[in-house]
Amino acid sequence: MKINNICCIGAGYVGGPTMAVIADKCNYLNVNVIDISQKRIDDWNNDDLDKLPIFEPGLKDIIKRRRNKNLFFSTLIKENIESADLIFISVNTPTKNKGIGAGMASDLRFVEECARQISKYAIGHTIIVEKSTLPVRTAQTIETILNSEINSKNKRNHLKSFSILSNPEFLAEGTAINDLEKPDRVLIGGHDQESIKSLVEIYSQWVDIDKIITTNLWSSELSKLISNAFLAQRVSSINSVALICQATGANIEEVSKAIGSDSRIGKHFLKAGPGFGGSCFKKDILNLVYLCTYFGLPEVASFWKNVVTFNSWHKENLIKIIVHKLFGTLVDKKIIILGFSFKSNTNDTRESPSIFIASQLLKEGANLVIHDPKVNEIQIKKEIENFISENDHQNYPKELPFNNNSWQFCNDLDNSFNDAHAVIILTEWEEYKNLDWRKISEKVLNTAWLFDTRGILNKNIFKELNLNFWQIGTSSESK
Ligand code: NAD
Ligand code: UDX
């Protein structure tokens, strides 16, 4: 089947960049990205490309080239479903927060809603592609919903038919455009060879055919969960090793290099840090844990659950280290937090370790000054307030939500270090590597500490400075 019109439901971190790259690589296709959020669509259509809803290196240029040529953002759900030959479902699949499976299982209400809209409005034969990350066998649910309309008594519906594919997305934020343009692989799962061929045809416009892997539906759905589980497990593994380094005098950078040089282990994803964040790892592992329990595999569930448990404990442990170094109390102490996004080169803060760490420091009574090059004040405030309201809010100081004494957003980094008790690097933004630490050491208090939780600074420069230095995975503290 020749594809001319594509529709993507969900204009988020995946739908937006992925469709932008498809439109850019296949200019014969019409690509319509739709969303229920008018605000999100307005942001995608903003003339000022610095105000797109997502910051991703390289994204602006593609939007400039393709928007309103063969790439369109709108809320016209009915019209775009009707005209589509192929529909990507790219909506959010958060963790369920109530009912059976709460805190573990995927909340599929947005996916279900898409299936209902598609079943209502689609015309002729339509290929439905799962782009969202989903529990194994979701395709079956989608198929049941789609076919319910066909099987209804309404004769008009005999004019429609569907085939379902799974095509999970492996992009990482901050490198999304590069990952989409040069993917390690594209995974397509399905049972209908004709539909698989149609989707392969699109990707083969820019991806080598030997990098396009085709599997059955269930292998494809499962591979996405397992891929994220393996990656997250690696981060928890290296963070656990960082603690062994701290205790023994070994150095995490050296250990990472030594083990990563073994081609069976590989050098990527061995960077110790404050714990993994982002919208995917925790939710996808919990989803996997839920599936394992459901399928009667409690030991397997417990194996993967530990990856998440360790990640939470790791962040708590960082708080303990900070409080200990600052003489056991943070009350009224000025602490500068550098970085709020969950990693560099993105404005995404979902599950960022900074949320937990900033909230805990506030709970200890600290006065925070928070900086991030791409995350604004409103977003930081929202994340911390949400975290506190969902957690033990009664344990936080009475004056929260925040006033200017307990926290400030930092617009002027150079002038914020005066009399600080501590500086904590939580995101590995390039600009933090290049700060003038000599000057900063003259501004902070005499007993001040710099905590480098990302291991981005050269510890040797701190030997001569008036600043105590702590770095993840190293045992030497220097003054
Ligand atoms: P997101 O929250 O950024 O975007 C989802 C969008 O879907 C939102 O704008 C929302 O308004 C819209 N939406 C929800 N229901 C809708 C409906 N019925 N009709 C129209 N629009 C609707 O989420 P995301 O980060 O883009 O993730 C989407 C999926 O991709 C998730 O399953 C996620 O696990 C997966 N994924 C995410 C990443 C990532 O790095 N963010 C990477 C790979 C896979
Ligand atoms: C992840 C997967 O990498 C991607 O394939 C999938 O499609 C979506 O989920 P993302 O969450 O965007 O991507 O970023 P990623 O680079 O995987 O980082 C996740 C978290 O792990 C971040 O908080 C990051 O700082 C942390 N991390 C990553 C480390 O602490 N050390 C590392 O070596 C790598």
* pLDDT grade for 478, boundaries at 50, 70 and 90: very low
* The length of the chain, given as a count of residues: 479
Cβ within 8 Å of residue 386, ≥6 positions away: none
Phi and psi angles of residue 471, each rounded to the nearest 5 degrees, phi first:
-130, 140
CB 379 within 8 A of CB 387: no
Q: Which CATH architecture is the domain 5-215 placed in?
A: 3-Layer(aba) Sandwich (3.40)
Judged by its nearest atom, the ligand closest to the C-alpha of residue 170 is 2
Burial of 342 (0-12, 13-18, 19+ CB in 10 A): buried
Mean pLDDT of the chain: 94
What residues form DSSP beta bridges with 215?
189
CB 338 within 8 A of CB 345: no
Domain ranges of the chain: 5-215, 282-471
Report the CATH superfamily, name and number, of domain 282-471: NAD(P)-binding Rossmann-like Domain (3.40.50.720)
Helices (H), 348-396: 353-363, 377-390
Which DSSP helix (H) or strand (E) runs through 449? strand 449-452
What is the three-class DSSP state of 91?
Answer: coil
Domains 5-215 and 282-471 share a fold: yes
* pLDDT grade for 152, boundaries at 50, 70 and 90: confident
Atom 4, ligand 1: residue with shortest CA distance = 12
- How many C-beta atoms surround the C-beta of residue 154 within 10 A? 9
* pLDDT grade for 479, boundaries at 50, 70 and 90: very low
User: Is residue 282 lining ligand 2, measured as CB closer than 6 Å?
Assistant: no
Which residue type does 251 have?
A: N
pLDDT at position 181, please?
98
pLDDT at position 149, please?
74
Phi and psi angles of residue 465, each rounded to the nearest 5 degrees, phi first:
-100, 160
Could you confirm whether 7 is annotated as catalytic? no
Phi and psi angles of residue 381, each rounded to the nearest 5 degrees, phi first:
-60, -45
Quick one: which atom of ligand 1 is closest to the CA of 134?
32
451 closest CA partner among 418, 425, 475, 430: 425
Phi and psi angles of residue 154, each rounded to the nearest 5 degrees, phi first:
-65, 115
State pLDDT tens for residues 388-406: 888 876 666 655 555 556 8
- CA–CA separation, 169 and 465 (whole Å): 46
Going from the Cα of 33 to the center of ligand 1, the distance in angstroms, rounded, reads 12
**Of 239 and 476, the one with more pLDDT:** 239
